[in-house]
Structures are given as C-alpha cells and as structure tokens.
Amino acid sequence: MKKAAIIMGSDSDLPVVQKAIDQFKAFGVPYEVHIYSAHRTPEEAASFVKNARKNGFGVILAFAGMAAHLAGACAANTTLPVIGVPCKGGALDGLDALLSTVQMPSGIPVATVALNGGANAALLAMEMLAIEHEELAALLAEKRAKDSAAVLKKDAEIASNL
C-alpha cells in the first residue's frame, strides 16, 4: 500500500497530528511523520514533497497554524493529493489558519478539513488510498457500520431511559 506523509509546521502541532496517527495505527496504514515548515525550513519541505511520489507516498497531510501556508506550499510541489489541517492557536485562535488553508487560489488544490481535524484528515487520506486497496475500503466500511451501531444503541437507551 502507498504511505501517508504527515507534515507539521512545528512540534507544537503534535496534539492535532496525534489524532491522525491514532487513526492510521488503528487501520494499519503505513505513515511517516515530519516537521517541515513552509517558512522556517522551506527547502527541506519542498524537497520532501517533490520526492514524495517516487518515495512511495500516495497522499500528504499538512498540519499548520497561524498564517498557515504549509499545505499550499506542499501542494505547489506535487500532484499528490494534499489534505490541509488548520490548527488552532495564536491571537486569532485558528481562524487565520483556516482561511489561509482553505482559500487556495484556483489551480493548486488543498482539501481542507475542520480546525484541529486530525482524525478526519487521516480518514479522508485512507479513503483516497482505499481507491486502489479493497481491503482498506472494507475496513473503512466496517468502521462506519460500527459507528452507526453505536449511535443506534444510544438512541435505544435514551428512548427507554427518558
């Protein structure tokens, strides 16, 4: 299976990144984690992303806060799908990161998930990898069924208890 690349702008983004790691671990999907900043280590970030396809990656997750240009900078250097995760923090508490990640100019797409949406970023990445991997697609469907069953169980409990 192709690997997922997880790139964070700073180690201060790690709590949000951990949510993605937990999902990849639960599904047994291979991943690599790196700290590359679009402004502090721009050359390393670009070089990693430029080589990502030939190094066996199928999708890139970019986590960043504040003036978060990491996902866009990654997308500029590859045609692999890039999922941007805006992280909360700073004076605007993430609104700046959300807008700079989601509002990409036409031509360089970034699939942006919710603020601090590390888990959904991993799930979306795995849905992409599952296009060519039926076993992973079946595991994702199983999770959906389990999640639905858990809600229906709560519905039955609340209906009988209230």
Interface residues with ligand RP5 (CB under 6 A)? 9-10, 12-13, 37, 64-66, 87, 89
**Which residues, in sequence order, are bridge partners of residue 62?**
7, 84
Q: Output 58 or 89, the one with its CB closest to ligand RP5.
A: 89
**Euclidean distance between CA atoms 78 and 129, whole angstroms:** 16
Q: Output 13 or 57, the one with its CB closest to ligand RP5.
A: 13
- Minimum CB separation of residue 115 from ligand RP5 in Å reads 11
- H or E stretch at 46: helix 42-50
- Minimum CB separation of residue 25 from ligand RP5 in Å reads 22
- Minimum CB separation of residue 131 from ligand RP5 in Å reads 29
Q: Output 87 or 125, the one with its CB closest to ligand RP5.
A: 87
- Minimum CB separation of residue 22 from ligand RP5 in Å reads 19
Q: Output 77 or 116, the one with its CB closest to ligand RP5.
A: 116
